[in-house]
Amino acid sequence: SGPSLAVVGVSGAVGQEFLSVISDRDFPYRSIKMLASKRSAGKPLTFQGRTYTIEELTEDSFDGVDIALFSAGGSISKTFGPVAVGKGAIVVDNSSAFRMEEAVPLVIPEVNPEAIRGFKVGMGKGALIANPNCSTIICLMAATPLHRRAKVTRMVVSTYQAASGAGAAAMEELELQTREVLEGKPPTCNIFNQQYAFNLFSHNAPVLSNGYNEEEIKLVKETRKIWNDMNVRVTATCIRVPVMRAHAESVNLQFEKPLDEETARDILKNAPGVVVIDDRASNHFPTPLEVSNKDDVAVGRIRRDLSQNGDHGLDIFVCGDQIRKGAALNAIQIAEMLL
């Protein structure tokens, strides 16, 4: 029983994580189609004891599909998302293609579930729901519970983004370069145009005329849409760091109402999908390795922003698995809300 699923981009890092999360959460499905590019079509794929053949994504891939999970890049979503919707499927799209469209809900289930109230499998028509960018999800999982209490007026984010955000090939290249550098060999630079191992650099997304890159602008725009607050002031600096699959983010928050660090810590301890790691005595705070392959986002370094007067500012440090909560888990949680 359950919906008929399609996974678009099943060979990629997020596509594979969709399957892991479906298994981990016993997501119910009547059938599941494994869809990918021509390059992967025909290959066998074993999932939950059954062997599937990966099918090439075509316009006919969505007949009878109830929920289509997309993570195959923006152009595939732009081309095939509307096709799937036209066939009556509800598309959960991990790309940025439709996130800022007025009619498209941009959803983090713990943050703004009301954005997809009424969306249900079998509601008689297709729909498209957008999964936010990973750095947005990870940041807002921690910032939103505080925003709900004291209303964030300004947020400054510095991100330390993992290789996985640039895909499986970037993770492989980081590993390869690390070996090469340790062996005194020149690093292989195919994915990024500079050495990644033992280095860090400004995020590889295109840089706009205002000097921000697209990753930073996503954080600004997606935060405003998800919080439904066009006045909140957000700025960001997104950096790529030599870490495999979990993003880290330093977040400075300015509030309309006072919010002291003890109250903030209590709010975060009770926030869904968040775990507090904030042990000053042992200097133990969130790390990418500690959140990798886990569902929860970890937050720590919770402290009053001493550059602000009174209790109107907080600094926090957040880590979250980019492939899981940053992409696949969030999408499956959205799909669970459609059942």
Q: Which residue is nearest to ligand 2RA (CB)?
A: 165
Q: Considering the complex, what minimum distance in angstroms separates the CB of residue 317 from ligand 2RA?
A: 18
Amino acid at 256: E
**In the complex with ligand 2RA, which residue's Cβ is closer, 157 or 166?**
166
Site for ligand 2RA in 215-234 (CB under 6 A): 215
Does 9 contact ligand 2RA by CB under 6 A?
A: no
Rounded Cα distance between 86 and 81, Å, is 9
Which parts of 313-332 interact with ligand 2RA (CB under 6 A)?
Answer: 322
Give every strand in the sheet of 201-202, ordered side by side. Answer: 201-202, 233-240, 152-161, 246-255, 313-321, 297-304, 274-276
| C-beta closer to ligand 2RA: residue 129 or 134 | 134
Nearer to ligand 2RA, 72 or 166 (CB): 166
Site for ligand 2RA (CB under 6 A): which residue of 16, 135, 292, 330? 135
Measured between alpha carbons, how far is 116 from 107 in angstroms, rounded to an integer?
Answer: 8
- Distance in angstroms (rounded) separating the CA atoms of residues 115 and 95: 18
**Of 57-65, 112-120, 132-140, 266-274: span binding ligand 2RA (CB under 6 A):** 132-140
Is residue 134 part of the annotated active site? The answer reads: yes
Pick the piece of the chain touching ligand 2RA (CB under 6 A) from 78-86, 123-131, 158-166, 281-289. Answer: 158-166
Examine residue 133 and tell whether it contacts ligand 2RA (CB under 6 A).
yes
Q: Is 118 exposed, middle or buried (0-12, 13-18, 19+ CB in 10 A)?
A: exposed
Scanning 29-37, 160-168, 185-193, 329-337 for contacts with ligand 2RA by CB under 6 A, the matching segment is 160-168
Q: Give the contacts of 290 (CB within 8 A, at least 6 positions apart).
A: 277, 298, 319
Cβ–Cβ contacts within 10 Å for residue 57, how many?
26
**In the complex, minimum distance from the CB of residue 69 to ligand 2RA, in angstroms, rounded to a whole number:** 15
d(CA 279, CA 298): 12
Q: Rounded distance, CA 164 to CA 17, Å? A: 12
Site membership for ligand 2RA, residue 77 (CB under 6 A): no
DSSP string, 19-46: HHHHHHTT---SEEEEEE-TTTTT-EEE
Which residue from 69, 166, 298, 334 is in contact with ligand 2RA, where contact means CB under 6 A? 166
The residue ranges of DSSP E strands in the chain, in sequence order, are 4-8, 31-36, 44-47, 50-53, 55-56, 67-70, 90-93, 127-130, 152-161, 201-202, 233-240, 246-255, 274-276, 297-304, 313-321
Q: Which is nearer to ligand 2RA, 96 or 254 (CB)?
A: 96
Is-catalytic flag, 312? Answer: no
CB of 220 to ligand 2RA, least distance (A): 14
Min dist CB 111 to ligand 2RA, Å, is 17
The footprint of ligand 2RA (CB under 6 A) covers: 133-135, 161, 165-166, 215, 322
Enumerate the active-site residues. Answer: 134, 247
